[in-house]
Each structure stands twice: as structure tokens, then as C-alpha cells.
Amino acid sequence: MELLSGLLSSLGLSGAAGLNAFIPLLLVGLLSRADVVHLNAPFDLLGNPWVLLGVAVVGLLDFVGDKIPGVDHVLHVAGGVVNAAAGAVLFAAQSGVADVPPALSMALGLIVAGGVQATRTAVRPVATATTAGLGNPVVSTVEDGTSLMLSALAVFAPLVAALLLAVIVVGVYRFWSARRVRRLT
């Protein structure tokens, strides 16, 4: 049962990293310092105060920059690597997946976070084009809020987090399918 809970938690955290790399990293690091979660070595460094400070500073810069049209595009391009890497680290860091080989857990985290990030990057131009960039701060705030909620659920209610991630994936798939059908007609 611990393996399943750990896998669901890891999926939720890596999905949250696809939306915002820094929120789940910061949350997991803070919870590790508070002894709420246990992280596998060497990922327990996420609880180091200097690492937390670095993640918080870069996360704050990303949070502000993602609300500015143009800057958000640059951040999303860089985020393709950063978010996927954060997802890989978060997936592998979970102690509940200790039975899963580290390379496999990192690959799974990379795929989940990278897939969410790629979808996010594809959807954002639609918001930019339809609102002349004015909707970007709203979309970014929703992404950040969803990342925070998904991160917290992944730690405290992993099954709910996995279900929320599935709802997000299905919702985005339906959005793109409907959009593609409208373009063809």
C-alpha cells in the first residue's frame, strides 16, 4: 500500500511541477524540514535552508515574470527543461517509491512534468491571442494555484491528487479536440 501511495504522491508532485517547478519543490523542502515527509538521499537536500532560499528566490522571480506577456514565453521555453527536471527530482525523492529503480522514477517524473509543461506551453498562446496578453496573469495565477493545490494534495491525499491530475489531462484533451474540430470545419 505504501508503494501505491508513494507512486500516486510522486505523480501528483511531478504533475504540479509541470505547472510550476518551484511551488512543489519549495513545499516538499519545507515539509521535509518539518519532518512531515521523508525524502530519499540525495534528494533530502531539498530541505537544506540554502537550497530552500534559492528555490524561493528563483520561484519568486518566475512567479512575477510569468505574469508579464513576452517574459512568460521565455520562461515557458526555459521551463521545458526546468519543470521536467523538477518533476524528475520530485518523483525520485519520495520515500514511498524506494522499490522503484531511481532511473525509472526519474524518467516517469520527467515524462509527467514534461507532458504537463508542454501542454501548458501550447495552451498559453491561445490565452495570449484571444486576450491580447491581458489574460496571461489570470491564467498564470490559476496555474500557480493549481500547482499549490496539487502539491498539497499529493503529500496529504495522494489519491485525490492523482484523480485531479487525470481530470486536468482529460479537460485539456477535450479542449484541444474541440478546438481542432472547430478549425477543421
Model pLDDT for residues 134-183, shown as the tens digit of each residue: 888 898 899 999 999 999 999 999 889 889 888 887 887 787 777 666 76
- Does residue 50 have a pLDDT over 80? yes
3-class SS string, 45-97: HHHCHHHHHHHHHHHHHHHHHCCCCCHHHHHHHHHHHHHHHHHHHHHHHEHHH
- Report pLDDT for 122: 78
User: pLDDT, tens digit, for every residue of 123-133?
Assistant: 778 878 888 88
| CA pair distance 109, 17, nearest whole angstrom | 9
C-alpha cell at 167: 481530470
CB 66 within 8 A of CB 1: no
| CA pair distance 170, 33, nearest whole angstrom | 35
- Does residue 184 have a pLDDT over 70? no
- Report pLDDT for 39: 85
User: pLDDT, tens digit, for every residue of 66-76?
Assistant: 888 778 878 88
Measure Cα distances from 117 to 7, 31, 38, 50 in Å: 20, 24, 26, 26
- Does residue 56 have a pLDDT over 70? yes
Band (97; pLDDT cuts 50, 70, 90): low
> Which residues, 6+ apart, have CB-to-CB distance to 146 below 8 Å?
16, 19, 168
- Report pLDDT for 55: 95
Sign of the C-alpha dihedral computed for residues 146, 169, 91 and 139 taken in this order: negative
- Report pLDDT for 7: 83
Residue 39 is given by DSSP the state B
Measure Cα distances from 4 to 19, 96, 104, 159, 170 in Å: 23, 8, 15, 9, 22
C-alpha cell at 161: 491528487
Residue 132 is given by DSSP the state T
C-alpha cell at 157: 491525499
Beta bridge partners of 94: 39
Beta bridge partners of 39: 94
